[in-house]
């Protein structure tokens, strides 16, 4: 005797008797039909054989007062149409096992058939519902939401790291109803998903897919008297400002993840993560190249030609002095070690100093005379000789 049969088959109809037929009426109907469709009287007639089996099966149940009572109860519970097994039966449409429901009271026939429905056990499901009884919570812990936020740092904050206030809004359990969605804190179990928050839909191939329940939006609960604040959703927008430590060395448009700083978890679930997209303001003097800082330093022609010591500013520290070798060309880059951006391990990158040879606009008479003297001294030198040579050669 299978569960599916219990739910699907109408044995009264098979025997052609009313639901309130007496035992005698059932016996009489069975005998008449059994004679009519008996295989001996219908040799080779498959339809008759099938019908005879149905009749026998119906009589097995309805002819036994105990089994008939169980059958009536099962159909009263599930036979109303809300609980159909899909075509092909053995389905994942639901995993109830009526055998469990009727437990030991059912005859030996229950065992085999119940297997087709796999898993579950109505006892479990009902047990789950009753246990939940109005506590207004789903058992399953839920991880908090991941939150994304943005912050703009000054150049130096990005290089050295900073603690910045971050205002965030997130979905949190509604305070007014403690997240139940119900004004009085007494939501009822969603009748559609029976509190699981999920509905299975059969695919017809013996598989089933699980979707969040539409009626309760996956919460498993429905407000009887919806909370005014959250309109029954149980969730509310909450704003909070928290101090967030941005590590040293972040660069513009970098997305950093702060584990566990996102939305709060529910029912013991872990908090989500906070992602912060960092924007870094430009600096009027310094630039960034990975761990290194860059700076362009103007030098006089004489400093470049004759060599000398050049003072270079650093970010947030005292200036450093660079030795410029004689004959330094315009655009040469030199390195001041350890004066760059802070790395993850706390060490620093370098400061890359690019030399820019400047030309004086206003010259004193003395300086002009000196330069005229220099021009005379270098009269034999053509600075474009190489250029023309190269242009001809090509």
Q: Which of 61, 62, 110, 213 binds Zn ion (CB under 5 A)?
A: 213
Q: Shortest gap between Cβ of 194 and Zn ion (angstroms)?
A: 8
SS3 state at 54: helix
Q: Shortest gap between Cβ of 129 and Zn ion (angstroms)?
A: 12
Nearer CB in complex with Zn ion: 198/292 = 198
Of residues 196, 221, 290, the one with CA closest to residue 252: 290
Q: Shortest gap between Cβ of 195 and Zn ion (angstroms)?
A: 7
CA distance 252 to 242: 22
Q: Which stretch binds Zn ion (CB under 5 A): 33-41, 168-176, 322-330, 348-356?
A: 168-176
Using CB under 5 A as the binding criterion, the count of chain residues that bind Zn ion stands at: 12
Backbone dihedral region for residue 325 (phi beyond 0: left; psi -120 to 50: alpha; all else: beta): beta
Element (H, E) at 27: helix 23-37
Nearer CB in complex with Zn ion: 34/229 = 229
Determine, following the binding rule CB under 5 A, whether residue 190 of this chain makes contact with Zn ion: yes
Q: Shortest gap between Cβ of 77 and Zn ion (angstroms)?
A: 20
Q: Which stretch binds Zn ion (CB under 5 A): 30-38, 136-144, 184-192, 334-342?
A: 184-192
Nearer CB in complex with Zn ion: 216/322 = 216
Determine, following the binding rule CB under 5 A, whether residue 194 of this chain makes contact with Zn ion: no
Q: Which of 61, 174, 274, 336 binds Zn ion (CB under 5 A)?
A: 174
Determine, following the binding rule CB under 5 A, whether residue 216 of this chain makes contact with Zn ion: yes
Q: What separation in angstroms does the CA of 301 have from each of 221, 228, 304, 323, 362?
A: 81, 77, 5, 15, 14
Determine, following the binding rule CB under 5 A, whether residue 223 of this chain makes contact with Zn ion: no
Q: Which stretch binds Zn ion (CB under 5 A): 121-129, 146-154, 206-214, 287-295?
A: 206-214
Nearer CB in complex with Zn ion: 179/249 = 179
Determine, following the binding rule CB under 5 A, whether residue 125 of this chain makes contact with Zn ion: no
Name beta bridge partners: 97: none
Q: Which of 7, 15, 74, 227 binds Zn ion (CB under 5 A)?
A: 227
Nearer CB in complex with Zn ion: 164/176 = 176
* Residue 99: partners with Cβ closer than 8 Å, 6 or more residues away: 3, 106, 110, 111, 113, 114
Nearer CB in complex with Zn ion: 99/220 = 220
Determine, following the binding rule CB under 5 A, whether residue 192 of this chain makes contact with Zn ion: yes
Q: How many CB atoms lie within 10 A of CB 18?
A: 9
Please check whether residue 168 is in contact with residue 258, taking contact to mean a CB–CB distance below 8 angstroms: no
Query: Residue 270 CA to chain centroid, in angstroms?
Result: 13
Q: Which stretch binds Zn ion (CB under 5 A): 31-39, 92-100, 127-135, 208-216?
A: 208-216
Nearer CB in complex with Zn ion: 193/334 = 193
**46 φ, ψ (degrees, to nearest 5):** -65, -40
Q: What separation in angstroms does the CA of 199 have from each of 19, 78, 192?
A: 33, 17, 8
CA distance 139 to 132: 8
Nearer CB in complex with Zn ion: 138/261 = 138
Determine, following the binding rule CB under 5 A, whether residue 193 of this chain makes contact with Zn ion: yes
SS3 state at 49: helix
CA distance 102 to 260: 47
Determine, following the binding rule CB under 5 A, whether residue 351 of this chain makes contact with Zn ion: no
Q: Shortest gap between Cβ of 199 and Zn ion (angstroms)?
A: 7
* Residue 120: partners with Cβ closer than 8 Å, 6 or more residues away: 94, 95, 96, 97, 100
Q: Shortest gap between Cβ of 191 and Zn ion (angstroms)?
A: 8
CA distance 196 to 212: 9
Q: Shortest gap between Cβ of 7 and Zn ion (angstroms)?
A: 22
Q: At what angle do helices 46-62 and 65-78 cross, to 10 degrees?
A: 100
String marking each residue 230-259 x if it binds Zn ion according to CB under 5 A: x-----------------------------
CA distance 300 to 361: 12
Determine, following the binding rule CB under 5 A, whether residue 129 of this chain makes contact with Zn ion: no
Contacts with Zn ion, residue ranges (CB under 5 A) = 174, 176-177, 190, 192-193, 213, 215-216, 227, 229-230
């Amino acid at each position: 005797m299978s569960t599916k049969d219990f739910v699907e088959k109408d044995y009264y109809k098979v025997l052609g008797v009313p639901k309130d037929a007496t035992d005698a009426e059932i016996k009489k109907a069975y005998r008449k039909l059994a004679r009519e469709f008996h295989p001996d009287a219908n040799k080779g007639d498959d339809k008759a054989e099938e019908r005879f089996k149905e009749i026998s099966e119906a009589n097995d149940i309805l002819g036994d007062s105990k089994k008939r009572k169980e059958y009536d109860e099962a159909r009263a519970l599930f036979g109303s149409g809300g609980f159909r097994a899909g075509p092909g039966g053995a389905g994942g449409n639901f995993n109830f096992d009526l055998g469990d429901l009727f437990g030991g009271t059912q005859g030996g026939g229950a065992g085999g058939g119940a297997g087709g429905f796999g898993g579950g056990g109505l006892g479990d499901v009902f047990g789950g519902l009753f246990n939940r009884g109005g506590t207004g919570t789903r058992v399953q812990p839920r991880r908090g939401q991941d939150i994304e936020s943005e912050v703009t740092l000054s150049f130096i904050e990005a290089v050295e790291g900073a603690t910045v206030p971050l205002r965030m809004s997130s979905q949190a359990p509604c305070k007014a109803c403690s997240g139940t969605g119900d004004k009085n804190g007494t939501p009822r179990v969603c009748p559609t998903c029976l509190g699981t928050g999920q509905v299975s839909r059969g695919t017809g191939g013996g598989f089933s897919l699980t979707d969040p329940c539409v009626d309760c939006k996956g919460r498993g609960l429905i407000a009887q008297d919806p909370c005014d604040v959250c309109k029954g959703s149980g969730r509310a927008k909450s704003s909070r400002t928290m101090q967030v430590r941005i590590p040293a060395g972040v660069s513009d448009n970098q997305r950093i993840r702060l584990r566990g700083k996102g939305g709060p978890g529910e029912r013991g679930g872990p908090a989500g993560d906070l992602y912060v997209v960092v924007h870094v303001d430009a600096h009027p003097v310094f630039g960034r190249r990975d761990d290194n800082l860059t700076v362009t330093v103007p030098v006089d022609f004489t400093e470049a030609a004759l060599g000398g010591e050049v003072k270079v500013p650093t970010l947030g520290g005292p200036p450093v002095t660079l030795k410029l070798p004689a004959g330094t060309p315009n655009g040469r880059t030199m390195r001041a070690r350890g004066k760059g951006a802070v790395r993850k391990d706390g060490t620093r990158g370098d400061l890359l100093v690019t030399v820019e040879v400047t030309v004086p606009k206003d010259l004193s008479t003395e300086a002009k005379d000196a330069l005229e003297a220099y021009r005379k001294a270098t009269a034999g030198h053509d600075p474009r000789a190489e250029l023309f040579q190269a242009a001809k050669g090509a």
